[in-house]
Amino acid sequence: MEFKELQDQITKIFLANLERDDIKISEGYLLTKLTEELGEFMQSYLIHKRDCRPSKYLSTEESKKEMAKELSDVLGLVFVIAKAFDLDIEEAITKKWITREWINKK
């Protein structure tokens, strides 16, 4: 699947969920939601590392699955935010990470 197609599909699903739940979208909501999802990822990481109450322990396989699920939420929100702000996240990743065109040279 192409990057932009993935972004479009995730955004469409996210917006449909907001509409279903009668939640108004705003930049503030999106940034707050990203923070929430990052917190959930961190919680899954703590469970994976067993830096939590023993009652929350999961098997390594299950804890990695939970981490992957939560990280996919973080990534999904990044796609939605990029679309909301009309940012070409594929270009940004390429120029920042791959070609390093956007890295400040000293």
Q: What does the pLDDT read at residue 104?
A: 77
pLDDT class of 27 with cuts at 50, 70, 90: very high
pTM score over 0.85:
yes
The percent of residues in the chain predicted with pLDDT above 90, rounded, is: 93
Name the pLDDT band for 28 (thresholds 50, 70, 90): very high
Whether residue 105 is predicted with pLDDT greater than 70 in this model: the reply is: no
User: What's the CATH fold of domain 3-98?
Assistant: Helix Hairpins (1.10.287)
pLDDT in tens, 54-89: 999 999 999 999 999 999 999 999 999 999 999 999
Q: Are 83 and 10 in contact (CB under 8 A)?
A: no
- Residue 77 and residue 33 in contact, taking contact as beta carbons nearer than 8 Å: yes
52, pLDDT greater than 90 = yes
User: Torsion angle, CA of 23/29/35/39, rounded to 10 degrees?
Assistant: -20
- Per-residue model confidence (pLDDT) at position 93: 94
Looking at residue 79, its pLDDT comes to: 97
Angstrom distance (rounded) from CA 96 to CA 42: 25
What pLDDT sits at residue 106?
55
